[in-house]
Every structure is written in structure tokens, then in C-alpha cells.
Amino acid sequence: MPKDTGLVSWKDLAPGMYITEPGNSVKFKTGDWRSHRPQLDKEKCIKCGQCYLLCPEPAYEENEEGYYICNLMYCKGCGICAAICPKGAITMVLEEA
């Protein structure tokens, strides 16, 4: 038998491979292929929230202290947050292999 490498049986797919459950993307961890990840320097951060607003995913979430923290489960490492940060508090660092 050839190896079965599919995610789900073709018989269980909705017609047209529609996704019939709204918002199910949160179930999928999609941030496993980035090459660089953002690193926040809390000393410099002024909690302005630009990273949160401009992250295309959006992967940033506000924590109890008011800092915006990147959820690396969804971050693709695009670096927009680092580029936009007015205080240079975010740097992109290479992911270890």
C-alpha cells in the first residue's frame, strides 16, 4: 500500500473544499516557517501599539501590563513591526535551525 499522507479523507471534504466552520483558522499553527522572529526590548517600548495595528496576521496581543507581545504560533517573520516601531524597540533575530 502506498503511504497515506493526506490530512483528511477526500470523502470528508465539503464540496469545493469549502471551509464551513467560520474562524477555524485559529486552530492551525501557521508560524512554523519564519526565518527571523521579532524580539521586544521592554526598556524602549512605549506601548503605542503600532506593531499590533500593522501586523498583517495579526499575531500581536496586548498583555496585562499593556505591552504588545507577538504570538510566535502565527508570526511569519515579515518584520513590519520592527520597521514601524518608532522607538526601535523591536529587532528581528535569526531563528535557530
Partner 1 sequence: MGKRVAKEVSIAVADAVAQCRVDVISAYPITPQTHIVEHLAELVNNGELDAEYIPVESEHAALSACIGAAATGARTFTSTSAQGLLFMYENLFIASAFRLPIVMVIANRSISAPISIWNDHSDVMTIRDSGWIQTFAENGQEAVDLVYHAYKVAEKCLLPVAVNLDGFIVTHVVEPIEMPDQELVDKYLPPLKMKYKLDPKKPITMGAIGVPEIYTEAKKALDEALKASYKVIVQAWREFERLFGRKYQPVETYKMEDAEVGMIIMGSLAETAMNAVDEMRKKGKKVGLIRFRLWRPFPMQDFLKALGKVKALCVVDRAVSHCSTGGPVGIEVRSALYQSNKRPKVLNLIAGLSGRDVTVEDFMEMFEMTYESISKKPKFSYQIYGVKE
Binding region for partner 1 (CB under 8 A):
5-11, 13-20, 22
Select 22 or 66, whichever has its Cβ closest to partner 1: 22
CA–CA distance, 61 with 38 (Å, rounded to integer): 14
Select 30 or 91, whichever has its Cβ closest to partner 1: 30
Select 2 or 86, whichever has its Cβ closest to partner 1: 2
- Provide the minimum distance between the beta carbon of 76 and partner 1 in the complex, in angstroms, as a whole number: 14
User: Cis peptide before 58, with omega less than 30 degrees from 0?
Assistant: yes
Three-state secondary structure call for residue 33:
coil
- Provide the minimum distance between the beta carbon of 11 and partner 1 in the complex, in angstroms, as a whole number: 8
CA distances from 89 to 4, 53, 59, 86 (A): 46, 16, 17, 8
